[in-house]
Amino acid sequence: MRIDIISCQPDLLESPFSHSILKRAQQKGIVEIHVHDLRQFAINKYGQIDDYAFGGGAGMVMMIEPIAKCLAALQEQRSYDAVIYMTPDGETLTQNAVNRFSLLQNIIILCGHYKGVDERVREHFITHEVSIGDYVLSGGELGAAVLTDAIIRILPGVLNDESSALTDSFQDGLLAPPVYTRPADYNGWTVPAVLLSGDTPKIEQWRFEQAIARTEQRRPDLLK
Ligand code: 6GU
């Protein structure tokens, strides 16, 4: 898979992809991540990529030209299956959407800033609009990092124990059950006996029941 991220603050996206799982996924050749500085496609030598909104009002708007040029440069090289715009008024990200994006070959992620992008970008270039939740961030970069992380960790071969992505919270529509490790008794706080029983079917049944109970209690909306 190849992920191209277009940003006016590309330095924000250096660190999230240079550690642990995401770094290893790139080293293994499972995913390529390319971050592009939108300012390299600025309309003038001052690096301008935004301008005042027609009709007035506070806040700058990202211009269509730099974005169009950057997209064209990428789309000239290869075809893309999705051009995703990160924006607080996009569709709230779910595991389901992540699963669907993870099946694509080449995707572009555009990070919004300021008061957003010229609406014509959304109308003519964007195929999907994604928000990571009902709160406002100062830019789409952290959202893009969240989306990229969620996609990459479920790509085949990224996690050593492949089944561990399958047992994530949400992957079966339920929250994950509680987990424990040594010591079995910490100052009298003990681990559920069933987990020490060695009876795998019984343990699986217990985990399933715990997942249901936890989901009923914390996220009943997921059971509908
Ligand atoms: Cl993707 N961008 C911004 N700026 N704010 C957000 C968001 C994205 N998702 C939730 N809030």
Interval 175-199: pLDDT, tens = 999 999 999 999 999 999 999 999 9
Q: What is the mean pLDDT of residues 46-70?
A: 97
What confidence tier does 210 reach under pLDDT thresholds 50, 70, 90?
A: very high
Binding residues for S-adenosyl-L-methionine: 112, 132-137
Q: Which helix (H) or strand (E) holds 166?
A: helix 163-166
Q: Average pLDDT, whole number, for the chain?
A: 96
* pLDDT confidence of residue 162: 62
Relative to the CA of 137, which ligand 1 atom is closest? 5
CA atoms within 13 A on the CB side of 181: 0
Please check whether residue 158 lies inside any domain of the structure. no
Out of 114, 142, 146, 147, mutate this one to test ligand 1's pocket (max ligand atoms within 8 Å of CB): namely 142
Please check whether residue 162 lies inside any domain of the structure. no
Q: Is 54 in the pocket of ligand 1 (CB under 6 A)?
A: no
Q: How many domains does the chain have?
A: 2
CA 195–ligand 1 middle distance (angstroms): 40
Residues 188 and 215 in one domain: yes
* pLDDT confidence of residue 163: 65
**What is the rounded CA–CA span in Å between residue 47 and residue 66?**
10
* CATH number where 200 lies: 1.10.1270.20
Please check whether residue 12 lies inside any domain of the structure. yes
DSSP 187: T
**Cα dihedral 89, 22, 19, 161 sign:** positive
**Domain end call among 152, 176, 196:** 152
Q: Is 86 in the pocket of ligand 1 (CB under 6 A)?
A: yes
Q: Is 129 in the pocket of ligand 1 (CB under 6 A)?
A: no
Q: In the numeric block, which tokens belong to residue 78?
A: 């290869």
CA 128–ligand 1 middle distance (angstroms): 14
**Domain end call among 125, 152, 179:** 152
Q: What is the mean pLDDT of residues 75-99?
A: 98
Interval 102-155: pLDDT, tens = 999 999 999 999 889 999 999 999 999 999 999 999 999 999 999 999 999 999
The question of ipTM being above 0.90 is answered as yes
Binding residues: 112, 132-137
CA 165–ligand 1 middle distance (angstroms): 25
Domain hosting residue 173, numbered range: 167-223
Residues 96 and 28 in one domain: yes
Please check whether residue 209 lies inside any domain of the structure. yes
Q: Considering the entire predicted model, what is its pTM?
A: 0.95
